[in-house]
Amino acid sequence: MRHRSYDLLGCPVEACTEAIGGKWKGELLFILFSATKRYGELRKLVPGATQRILTLQLRELEEDGIIERKVYAVVPPKVEYSLSKRGETLKPIVDAMWHWGNKFLETMPKNRLKPKSESVAKDQKRKTARV
C-alpha cells in the first residue's frame, strides 16, 4: 500500500524505497534505462509479471514522475514508456543497487537460489491456474 504522506523521521529513505520498490519496478527501470519501450515489449521482457501488476507498477512510476507515458492517436493504439528527467537521476542509484545485489547473490548459499526459468515457469503456472 502506498503512503500518501510521510513523517519527517526516515522520510527520504522511505519515499525512495516506496517509489522504486515493487516486485517489477526495478526490472522495468533497468529496461527503460536502455531505451523507450512499448507496452507489449515490456510484457515480453518481464514475462513473470501479470498484466494487472505490470500496468499498476507502470502507473505508479508515472504518477511519481519517474517515467513518462506517451499515447499516439493511431489505430491500433500505440503507447510508449520512457524515463523522465527525474527517472534518469535514478540510474546511479539503481546501478549501485545492482552491484550490491550482485555481490549479495554471489555470497548467498546456492540452495537459496533458483534458476530464473524455474521462477518464470512457476509464475506462468499460477497464471493459468487462476483462469
For 29, 56, 129, the CA distances from 20, given in Å and listed in that order, are 8, 13, 29
Separation CA 84–CA 113 (nearest Å): 34
Alpha-helical segments (H) within 2-115: 11-20, 25-34, 39-45, 51-63, 85-88, 91-107
Separation CA 69–CA 10 (nearest Å): 30
What average pLDDT does this structure show over 17-21? 88
pTM across the whole model: 0.76
**With bands split at pLDDT 50, 70 and 90, how would you rate the model's confidence at 126?**
very low
In tens, the pLDDT along 76-125 reads: 889 999 999 999 999 999 999 999 999 998 988 888 777 765 555 555 55
**With bands split at pLDDT 50, 70 and 90, how would you rate the model's confidence at 4?**
low
Any idea which residue has 494487472 for its cell?
52
